[in-house]
Structure 1
Amino acid sequence: MSPIDDAIDAIELREPGASFSYRDVAKRFGVDRSTLSRRHQGKSKSIAQEAQQRQLLNPQQEAEIVDYIERCTRSGLPPTRQMIKNFASAVAKWDVGEGWVTRFLHRQHDHLTPKWTRGIDRARHVADSKERYEQYFELLHSKMQQYEVAAENVYNMDEKGFMMGIIARSKRVFTRAIWEQKERTAAIQDGNREWVTILACICGDGSSLPPALIYEGKAGIQSSWVSELQAEIHEVFVANSTSGWTNNELGLAWLEQIFDRFTRDKARRRWRLLILDGHGSHVTSDFINFCGANKILLAVFPPHSTHSLQPLDVVMFAPLANAYSQQLQQHIQRGQGTMGPAKAEFFSIFWAAWSQTFRRELILKSFQATGVLPMNAEAVLKRFKNTTPQQVNGVKVGERGDGDSWRQLRKILDVAVVDKDKVEAKQVEQALHSLQVKNELLHHENESLHTALNTRTKRKLRSKALDLQRSDQQHSGSVFWSPYKIEEAREREVTKQQETEQLQLQKDTERELRAASLRYKKLMADEAKAERQRAKTERDEAKKARAAELSARRAAKQQQRNAATSQNSQDTHKTPRRTASRKPVEKKTRRRGVVVAESEAAAAPTAPPPPPKTTTRGRTIKLPQKFK
C-alpha cells in the first residue's frame, strides 16, 4: 500500500468527531498536503484508480471471473480464450475483443496460466474418480506386499501407434513478410499414413525391454524394412500384421518370446508383476493361462484410467512422440521436403527417438508419478483434494444481482451513496459487483446446461440386443460369452449400423434429388408462365397501339371527308342551277313472264275464285297485309 493510502486510512480510522489536520497527517506519512486533501475528499484519484476506472471490468468483477474459471477447471472444463471472452462480454454487456483477453490474462498472471492441452474423453473424465483409484491402489499394493514383488520385477507394458509421415504440432519461425502474405503458414510433412505399432515395456528398476515393432503388411517382413537393423547394436523385435496393430496371436507371442525370455532369469523363480490395460489382445485365455503357469501376476488398469495410472502413458509416450517428430522433421529437412519417410527409413528414425527417450531416470520418474514405486497412492490422489480458494479482500456474496453493467452500477452507487470513501460504501460497491458478475456467470452456465440437457435428451438411443450368432454345436441352454465374442458382436452391430446409415443417406440423397428436380421443374414452369404472360402483355400492348393508330387514321380520314363535303357544299351553293333542256325519257322496264305449255295448262286444276271483296251487307272487305 502506498503512503498516500496509508494516510487516508489513518484519517478514516480516527475517532468519530476527532479533529485532524491535513498538514500534520501529510507530514507524518511524507506526502503532499494538497494531494492528500484532494484524494481524501474524492476530488482526485490515483493513477491506478484512474486506470481501473477506464477498464471494462473492475478488479472485483475480474476476481469473480477468475474464481469461476477455477471452478470450471476443477470440474474438468478449463475454458478457452473464446469462452473467457464470452464470460466478460456477458458481464460487461459489451462485446470484448481478443486484446482484452490478452490483457486480462496478463493482469491475472498470478492466478491464470494458458497452456496447450489435449482433450480428455468423456468416459475417461467419468472414470477419473478418487474412489476408483483408491480401490485400485489398495488392491495393487496389497498384492505386491502379499507376493513380495520387488521393484526389479514390476513391469508396465503398452502399445503405441505411429503414422510414418505425420508430424506432431510444433512452433516454427516464419519471416513476417511471408507469414503476412499467407504464402506459407505451415511446414511440409510427407503425409504418409502407413501405421506401425510398438510394444513397449519398462521395469521398476529403470530398465526397459527391447521394443517390438509391428509393421502393416500382408506378405511377411520385407528386407527393406530391416535393412538398417544390425543385430550387434539394435536389440529389437519385428513382426507384421494386416492392420499394423497388435492382435491376440502377437500379444501372446510377445509374452512368450520377449517378456518371459528377458525377465525369467532376473526373477529367479520369484513372482513378477505385469501391469497393462484391458485391451483384447492382453487378456485372452491363452495369455492369462501362460501368466498363471509362469508366476506372472497380471494387474489390469480400471477402464479409461491409463491417462492417470499408467507409467508409459503419463510420462514416457509423450516425450517419445515428440522425439519421433523431431527426428522426422530433421529427415524431411535434409531432403528439403522432397523425400518423405518410407518403411525403409522408419526404423532409423524410431530408434533415434527411442534411445533418446527411454532412459533410466525418466523410467523411474514414470513409476513414481503414478504411485506404483515407491508405493504411494497420494501421488495420484492428491489432485482430488480440493482446497478452498482464498477469497480476495471484500464482501463475497453468492446471490443473484440485478444484472446491470459496471458503469450502470457505478451511476446508481454515485447517486445513492454520498460519502463513497467510507469502508461501508466500498463494501457495498464490492457486493454489488460480486452480485452482478455471479448473476451473469450463473445465467451463462444455466443456458449452457439447458442446451446440453436438450441435446442429450434428443440423442438418447434405445438399447439393442447384440447379434452373438450362437453356434449349433452349443447344446446347453445357457452360454457364457467371452469378451472376444462380445467384441465381435459389437463390431457386427457397428457394421450393420453403418450400412443402415449408408442406406438412409442414400435414400435422403435420392429424396433431395427428387425434391431438387421438382423445384427445378416448378422453376422452369414458372419461368415459362412468366414468359407467356410477358408475351401476352406485349401482344396486348401492340394490339392497343395498332387500334389507337387505326382509330387515329380513321379519324383523320373522316376529318378529310368532312372537310371535302363542306367544300363541295359551298361549291354547290355558289354554282347556279342549270335548266333542263328537255324532259327526261322514262326507260321502259322489261318484265319476264312465265310461259306455260298448252298441255300443262290443260292439265292444271282450275284455280279457286277470288274471295269476295264485299260482305253480304255491302261492306268492303279489307284483306290483311299478311294474306296479300
Structure 2
Amino acid sequence: MNVGAAFIRGFDLEIAFHLFKPAYASSFTEANIVAAFKATGIWPIDRTVVTKRFDYTTPPLQTDNISPSHLSPADWWRTERLVERAIKGNNDQVVTKLVGAIHRASTQHKLLQYENKGLLASLDTKNKRTKRGRRLPLKGDQKRPTDAVFYSPRKLQEARDERARKDAKILADQARKADAKQLREAKKLLSEKSKQEAQEKRERDKMVKEKENADKAARREQQKQQENSDKAIQPSQKGKRKASRPLPKQKKRQKRVDGSVASGVAIEATPAQPARTSRGGRNIKIPAKFR
C-alpha cells in the first residue's frame, strides 16, 4: 500500500492525462456506446438478450427414443425428463410431489437391488462352505488343550455308539413331543366338537320348548275364546225362551142367572207351596205371616 502511494505521488499527473486521453477518445465512440447498450439490452429494451445466455445450451441426452414401457424404477432421471416434457414447465405443487415420489421410489428400488445382491452373495458363500463333522464324545487324560491324545479303536467305537444312542434319544423325544402335540390337537378338536354339539342340542331343546309354550298359549287362548262365546250365547237363549211363552187369554164376562155380572177371568186357585224340609229330612212349618 505504501509502495503504491509513493508511486502515485511520484507519478506525474500530466503524463498520465496525456496517456489516458487518446485511449478514452478511441474507445468512447458512438458506435461502441450503441453496441454496448444493445449487447446488454438497455437500448433497444430487450431482456431476451440477457436471459438467453442462461438457457440450456448443452445438447440433451438421447431421450427421444425412450419409451415409457422400457423404463425401470431405477431410471428416475429419465422418468423425470419425461415428466418435465409432459408438464411443459408447469410448476404445480402436485407435479413437484409426483417427481419427488418417483425419485424416492427409484432410490428405494436401487437400494433393495443392492441389498438383494449382497444377500445372494453371502448365501452363495455360506453354501460353498464345507459341512463340518460332529465331534465324538471322547474322554481322555488331556492335561492341556494342546496335548495330543491317542484313542484305541475300541474307545472310538464306544464313542460312536454313545453318539448314536444320544441321536436316537433325541429322535425319540422329538417323536414323543410330536405325538403329544397331535394328541392335544385331537383332544382340542374333540372338545370343540362336543361343545358345538351341546350348543346345538341346547338350541334345539330351546326351540322345541318355545314351540310347546306357543302351542299351549294358543290352546289356552282358543279355550278362553270358546268360553267367552258360550257365555255370550246363554243369555240370548234365555231371552228367547222367555219371549216364546204366550200370554194367558182373558175370558169374557158372563151374566149370572141372578143378574149379576160375573168376571170373565176365572179365579184360579193358588197353588199350594211345596213343603220345605230341613237337611235332616224333617218338614218345616212356615208361619202364616211369612207365607
TM-score by structure 2 length? 0.43
Higher relative contact order (CA closer than 8 Å, sequence separation 6+): 1
Which has a greater percent of helix? 2
